[in-house]
Amino acid sequence: MSVAFENRLEVLRSNPRFSPETVNRFVRFLQEAPEEALFRTSPMHFATTEGVPENEAIELFLCATHAGILEFTWGVLCPACGSFLTTPAALRSLQRERPCQMCRINVKTEDDNMEVAFSVAPSARRIRFHQPEALDLRRDLLALMFSQSRTLSEEILRVVGDSVMDSIALPPGGVHRFTAKIEAGKTYFLAVPLHHVYCELDAVAEGGVRTVEAELMEDRLLPGYVKMNAGEVSVTLHNRTSSSVRVALVKFWISKSELVCDVSRMPPPVPFRPYLSGKRLVTNQTFRELFRAESIPSEGGLEFKSLTVLFTDLKGSTEMYERIGDFRAYGLVREHFGVLRDIIADRGGSLVKTIGDAVMASFAEPMPALEAATAMTREVRRVSRDGAQLQLKVGLHSGPCIAVELNERLDYFGQTVNVAARVQGVAGADEIAITEPVYTAPGAQDVIRAASLSASRERALLKGVEGETTVYRLR
């Protein structure tokens, strides 16, 4: 183990959020895991195999990335085949749609199909995936193409490996001619799996061609589709990119009848294991603090189908400033901000901003947000000074919203944010006000019972919101 690697590990060992045993397990994982387990893996996989809480595993992987031990990659998952459609420039270059040429569909970028995967950095351990142009695609084609969160049987791995007819490392400006004998009725691909670009070769009995000249650009392979006569054929590829690539000629392992069906209506061929979604990462406090340079796409922001937004405010803070003075009151308010920030981070959320004495926070799911709210009202009661005791008002709402970059900071906009802010205004001192989507969310009733809270339902008129809104007061 190098001195530089030991120094990076010391960053993790000195972090009070990680137990020594967790860090030791992580080091063993880096040193002993097979190379494919260290390529585009998920902290959820590590949490499951090592018995580490998910939030701790996510924070560990983020801190390890910041220390240069890991590297992360953003990808959009194709729901039909499980392709990990990479986004080289990370979050800032995510597009609203990504084409999956394998399935012939456009995949909409949404909160539940963005995966953030982690690979070991070369400075920590060299693995073959650090040189993708040198990979044996008979062994590694699936690892390059698909998310590691897909569970694939040994039979599928064997079939896909056997489908690779030939592969070559092609340097910038390089040219290679593939020759092969193809069967009528079968589908073949000239594939650059790391970049997810393909030229489909449709083998027909007649009416096709026997030779093809193809060109690899930075983001596409031209032409994308060619009919070729069955028998001996040749395909010449010109690499017009600035990097070396691994190219393969592949006999597709799915029959033509399956390939032409409506894949949008098909269930996934194999299930996904839990993975770190883009939404869960963006709403993570550690991510916001360590990776401020990871900006949201500038055009239109990033849409989330569902996000839970939490607002707090202090009851009677104006009177408190009058009674004990600005300096002492501000000290109390700062202490309460620290308490709230720690509670939010512990539940996997992030503190979006403070507004006067108020806090706005975001969570990927309602249950951890509700857990945070119950802890906030309990812990803030203990913050007192000069006879002043703080009382918190909390409001929560879940729904769609848009993440944007505003003044070099991640922020959220939309009616979900507006409703959450208005619902907080409904709450009284030491009360939590929540909407129907939060109250009926999986696990919400368990959180309410565990906190020994009672819920009363009412209909409220919220400013800027049409009609009445169902609100539950938790006391």
DSSP assignment string, 161-174: HHHEEEEEEE-TT-
DSSP run (H or E) holding 188: strand 187-192
Q: How confident is the model at residue 392 (pLDDT cuts 50, 70, 90)?
A: very high
Residue 303 within a domain: yes
Domain count, the chain: 3
Residue 292 within a domain: yes
In sequence order, which residues have a C-beta less than 8 Å from that of residue 332 and are 6 or more positions away?
Answer: 320, 324, 383, 384, 385, 388, 390
- The pTM score is 0.87
Same domain, 69 and 214: no
Question: What 3-state DSSP class applies to 77?
Answer: strand
What does the buried/exposed string (b/e) look like for 406-420 if buried means 16 or more CB atoms within 10 Å of the residue's CB? eeeebbbebebbbbb
> For the chain, what is the mean pLDDT?
88
The least confident of 29-33, 37-41, 359-363, 464-468 is 464-468
Q: Which of 197, 230, 265 is the last residue of a domain?
A: 265
Give burial (CB, 10 Å; 0-12/13-18/19+) of 396: buried
**Cα separation, 412 vs 417, whole angstroms:** 7
Check residue 301 and give its pLDDT: 72
Residue 277 within a domain: no
Same domain, 178 and 303: no
Report whether 92 contacts 259 (CB < 8 A): no
Pairing of strands 392-406, 431-435: parallel
Q: How confident is the model at residue 261 (pLDDT cuts 50, 70, 90)?
A: very low
Same domain, 259 and 295: no
Same domain, 16 and 117: yes
Same domain, 102 and 228: no
Residue 139 within a domain: no
Write out the DSSP string of 100-151: ETTTTEEEE--TTSEEEEEEE-TTT---GGGSGGG--HHHHHHHHHB-TTB-
Q: What is the pLDDT of residues 396-412, one digit of tens each?
A: 999 999 888 777 778 89
Same domain, 257 and 316: no
Residue 355, phi then psi, degrees to nearest 5? -130, 95
Same domain, 304 and 453: yes
Same domain, 338 and 438: yes
Q: Give me the domain span that covers residue 17.
A: 3-131
